[in-house]
Chain A
Amino acid sequence: MKLRTLHLVTAALFALATGAASAQQPILISGLVELSGTGATSGTNFDNGAKLAAKEINAAGGILGRKIEYTSSDTQSNPAIAKALAQKAVDAGAYVVLGPVFSGSILVSMEETRRAQVPNFTGGEAAAITEKGNPFIFRTSMTQAAAMPKVARYIQNNLKAKSVDVMWVNNDFGKGGRDMIVKALGAEGIKVGADIPTEPGQVDFSSAVLKAKQSNSDVLFVYTNEEESARALRELRKQAYAKPIIGETTLTGQKVIELAGDAANGAIAHVGLTADAPLAPVKAFDAAFQKEYKAKSDHNGLKGYTAMYFVKVMTERIGKVDGKALAAAMHGAKMTVKDNPGVLMDVTFDNKGDLDRETFMTKVVDGKQVVTDVLPPLGAK
């Protein structure tokens, strides 16, 4: 009899202990990121941003008193693997999925998170992502469709150009951007000169640059991934290309400046969110990121970082850890820096999952990205 009592007490204690543990159970957030392959630069930055935010949030007591458990897994920049990992994240009971960054991968993997009704924050910029009526997908940056008209307007008003050459990388990112800028330039009445496609991972840009030189347009628009942008800038400098060089998001990114060295000086780009934005929360982020990783974040780092804070802010707003409720609350959500410094800039989400906020015109001066203009949100004009 005595033994039995002991058993009962043990069982009761055990039940109590596990019960207490479940109240303290961490919130599982899964990152699907490109840590190898062609997307490694973007994915690693995104992942580091998310990790940093999770660390900060946990240090400040977590979300609703629960710690974040953030795990990241490598999609190898391959859509078929990304799909498998999305299923795995869902199976593991993830509250939210962050990533992938590559548009091709997110287009596949978001079908899985949608089926499981798990909110999914992506770094992808292709327009198609939010045009499929998926109520669980949210962006962490502005779309190409929103960004390119601003670039075209800048080329028209500030550079007074009549014709523009377009150099782009032939993948979903580059092709999407190329189609959008050509449309936006057309709307401003600017002629497109040479249309120059380049390969993902291309090393030699001599013939691409030669084409741009020979076409003699007023401005060159460069839209490639980070490493290719650096190679293009080096070759442009080598061939003494003298016209303005303008890009979007990638061209003046930190990684590009590091790789291109002096050749990056003078490059102009429109950027959605940059670590060099003249704002106090962004400066704080920049310092923390550099301290943690001994490197400067590119725009993808800010995407991952803000995504984690979007989750925190909105979860606390709805007052429970419930994926479906979170997704519903995200539509039409407005978050301000005043109340939540972690979101870095005031931001609003529409009912498709697209976000809107201020953007910047930046220029590389002496190996540093400098903000020259702050452009208002689209919804504010």
Chain B
Amino acid sequence: MSARRHLAGLAVVLAALVIVALFLKRSDVYLLTLWAVYLMATMGLNLTAGYAGQMSLGQAAFFGIGAYIAALLLKASWPFLAVLPVAAIVCFVVGIVVGFPALRVQHHYLAFATLGFNVLAYLAMRNEEAITGGTFGISGIPRPTLFGVDLGGHLAYWYWTLGSLVVLGGLLWWLLRSPWGRAFTALRDNPIRAESLGINITAYTLLAFAIGAACAGIAGVYYASLVEFIEPGPFHFSTSLMMLLAVIVGGSGRFYGPALGTAIVILLPEFLRGSSVPWLKFMQVWYLAFFGIAVIVLMIWLPGGLLSLRERLDRKGGPQ
């Protein structure tokens, strides 16, 4: 696809997201915003898992760290724009600290190491009651006012989140096209060859992991401010699994994979639940079961994720 067509397509999608929200109900706009928030985290995970090839099951922990930092600082009247870099930097640093020993192991071993970290972070959020409010969580987290614009309303917050998502996406796009990004991909495809070409494997793996963590931290800030309440539940490792699922379903290692995958994981169940088409009525009860089956079928038929559909169809007829 040429760059111009790519940009035009992106502009159409973004314009649609801006306009459609005007006609949606509050609850639907909220779900769209939730999609954008999770997308920030899954785009980061896509960098770690899809591009750099490191299976991480700790993304929800970074998501949670960002959310708790946001909750505490926003309640202490910090400006939103100051909270963002704090959350990103803390998650980046924690990512390096966790990643350094963890990345000495690879693939599924790394998955278990990061899973352990996620469990640990979850326990800390739940048991360090003095800081995190324990199981009661932290409520009354304010939504920001920026440049005199109150972002408390559902539409205002959606546009703000969408705008931020585009900026974050642009940064990642740039990163992936920089020599760093090419190094990440080289690393995933063949670490030995990459090393022979002079790429410092440890440093680049660590970097991909930490940048992915920072994205999750940023997502956490938007999450806390969106829901206006946090407790440890949403940062359980099952959320990490859900995020990884979103990356894989969409097509890991493809830039727009997480956008599609996250839409399927977050929006599809709610869409099925809300369907009022007569022959879809049974979905109001069966939506979770249908969702589970759909994911299984998809993984069997399209292991490369939804965005590999075209290649799959092109290949049809030939041997797999």
Pick the residue among B31, B137, B229, B288 that contacts A84 (CB under 8 A): B31
- B203 in the interface, Cβ–Cβ < 8 Å? no
Q: How far is the CA of A178 from the CA of B68 in the complex (A)?
A: 24
- B312 in the interface, Cβ–Cβ < 8 Å? no
Knowing A84-B34, A170-B126 touch, does A79 contact B233 (C-beta < 8 A)? yes
- A187 in the interface, Cβ–Cβ < 8 Å? no
Pick the residue among A84, A87, A88, A126 that contacts B136 (CB under 8 A): A126
* Residues on B with beta carbons closer than 8 Å to the beta carbon of A58: none
B 34-58 to A, binary, CB cutoff 8 A, 1 in contact else 0: 1000000000000000000000000
Q: Which among B22-30, B99-107, B189-197, B246-254 touches the partner chain? A: B22-30
Residue count of chain A within 8 Å CB distance of chain B: 27
* Residues on B with beta carbons closer than 8 Å to the beta carbon of A111: 228-229
Interchain CB contact under 8 A, B139 and A84:
no
Interface centre among B135, B139, B234, B274 (most CB of A within 10 A): B135
Interchain CB contact under 8 A, A83 and B30:
yes
- B273 in the interface, Cβ–Cβ < 8 Å? yes
Chain A: CB-nearest residue to B269:
A76
Interchain CB contact under 8 A, B135 and A79:
no
Pick the residue among B26, B34, B229, B270 that contacts A107 (CB under 8 A): B229
A78-B234, A80-B227 given. 13 additional CB < 8 A pairs? A79-B227, A80-B234, A83-B30, A83-B227, A84-B34, A88-B27, A91-B25, A91-B26, A111-B229, A128-B136, A171-B135, A174-B135, A175-B134
SS of B interface (majority): helix
* Residues on A with beta carbons closer than 8 Å to the beta carbon of B228: 108, 111
Interchain CB contact under 8 A, B227 and A108:
yes
Pick the residue among B26, B273, B274 that contacts A90 (CB under 8 A): B26
Knowing A36-B288, A104-B233, A107-B139 touch, does A87 contact B134 (C-beta < 8 A)? no
- A282 in the interface, Cβ–Cβ < 8 Å? no
Chain B: CB-nearest residue to A175:
B135
Contacts from B to A (Cβ < 8 Å): 25-27, 30-31, 34, 126-127, 134-137, 139, 154, 227-229, 231, 233-234, 270, 273-274, 288
- A100 in the interface, Cβ–Cβ < 8 Å? no
Knowing A84-B270, A126-B136, A176-B136 touch, does A79 contact B27 (C-beta < 8 A)? no
Cβ < 8 Å to B, chain A residues 51-97? 73-74, 76, 78-81, 83-85, 87-88, 90-91
- A292 in the interface, Cβ–Cβ < 8 Å? no
- A258 in the interface, Cβ–Cβ < 8 Å? no
- A172 in the interface, Cβ–Cβ < 8 Å? yes
CB distance from A9 to the nearest CB of B (A): 32
Interface centre among B34, B136, B137, B234 (most CB of A within 10 A): B136
Interchain CB contact under 8 A, A84 and B231:
no
Q: How far is the CA of A128 from the CA of B135 in the complex (A)?
A: 12
CB distance from B224 to the nearest CB of A (A): 11
Chain B: CB-nearest residue to A108:
B229
Q: How far is the CA of A176 from the CA of B134 in the complex (A)?
A: 11
Q: How far is the CA of A90 from the CA of B270 in the complex (A)?
A: 16
CB distance from A50 to the nearest CB of B (A): 16
Interchain CB contact under 8 A, A79 and B231:
yes
